[in-house]
């Protein structure tokens, strides 16, 4: 069987700090990614993960349907819609460019797998600035997105509730799951399957859209919402391996 090739866009950030020491100060800039645990988990199962960091995605994210189809599945994680909408040719030079949110919808409808993982720039995100509400991406996701800041911080931790234990994504995972520390509050579509939840909010939901499949994971795939205990849980690798295989129809 051919190997599975997955593209993940986002899940990185640059931090600039100012260090003040009395009269004197200096600044430092550091680059961080939150994809390492997922890359290791999938790589151990023979699934290739190609990462486009957030600061490269505006230029490097695929611009054609054929380029998207080079991947069996695509994950958007903590990357706002503006990064995909505003190619440098448009932002800097005023040139028309393809709408990559529309291309992602067509990719799914024609048979691709698309997942969105939660974060401060997923779904609607911090201050409502991720802005996936009323976009072509929302149309194919298994959840509906509200037009406001949808983050829910749970610093004391919460235990996910598996609501569809026979679904291939969670089959065989022993409970209880480790705690998570937050999520994006969204609403499941009527034709979605909610696989795991926290109260009335879906944590993991899936849907068939056209010839493709979509998945919504509303917590992080790395710190901070995804706790250290969750990342080091043996079920983390099984969960995401089974999620990817379901997305591409190989569950």
Sheet holding 113-117, edge to edge: 47-52, 4-10, 73-77, 113-117, 212-217, 201-209, 193-198, 161-162
CA distances to 49, 124, 215 from 142, rounded to whole Å, are: 23, 15, 6
Along the 251 residues of the chain, how does pLDDT read in single tens digits?
579 999 999 999 999 999 999 999 999 999 999 999 999 999 999 999 999 999 999 999 999 999 999 999 999 999 999 999 999 999 999 999 999 999 999 999 999 999 999 999 999 999 999 999 999 999 999 999 999 999 999 999 999 999 999 999 999 998 899 999 999 999 999 999 999 999 999 999 999 999 999 999 999 999 999 999 999 999 999 999 999 999 999 98
pTM over 0.85: yes
3-state secondary structure at position 104: helix
24 φψ region: left (φ > 0), alpha (ψ -120 to 50), beta (else) = beta
3-state secondary structure at position 241: helix
Q: Which domains does the chain have, with CATH numbers?
A: 4-247 (3.40.50.880)
Residues across the chain: 251
């Amino acid at each position: 069987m051919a190997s599975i090739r997955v593209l993940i866009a986002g899940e990185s950030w640059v931090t600039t700090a100012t260090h003040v020491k009395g009269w004197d100060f200096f600044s430092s800039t550091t680059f961080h990614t939150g994809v390492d645990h997922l890359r290791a988990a999938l790589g151990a199962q023979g699934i290739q993960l190609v990462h486009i960091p957030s600061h490269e995605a505006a230029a490097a994210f695929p611009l054609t349907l054929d380029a998207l189809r080079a991947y069996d599945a695509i994950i958007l994680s903590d990357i706002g819609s503006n990064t995909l909408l505003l190619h440098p040719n448009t932002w800097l030079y005023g040139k028309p460019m393809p709408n990559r949110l529309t291309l992602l919808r067509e990719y799914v409808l024609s048979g691709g797998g698309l997942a969105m993982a939660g974060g401060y720039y997923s779904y609607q995100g911090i201050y409502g600035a991720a802005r996936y509400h009323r976009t072509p991406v929302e149309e194919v996701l298994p959840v509906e997105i509200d037009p406001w800041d949808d983050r829910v911080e749970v610093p004391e931790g919460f235990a996910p509730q598996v609501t569809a234990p026979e679904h291939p994504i969670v089959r065989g995972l022993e409970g209880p799951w480790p705690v998570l520390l937050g999520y994006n509050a969204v609403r499941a579509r009527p034709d979605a399957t909610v696989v795991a939840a926290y109260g009335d909010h879906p944590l993991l939901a899936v849907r068939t859209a056209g010839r493709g499949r979509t998945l919504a994971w509303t917590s992080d795939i790395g710190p901070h919402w995804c706790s250290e205990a969750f990342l080091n849980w043996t079920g983390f690798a099984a969960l995401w391996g089974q999620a990817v295989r379901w997305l591409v129809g190989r569950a």
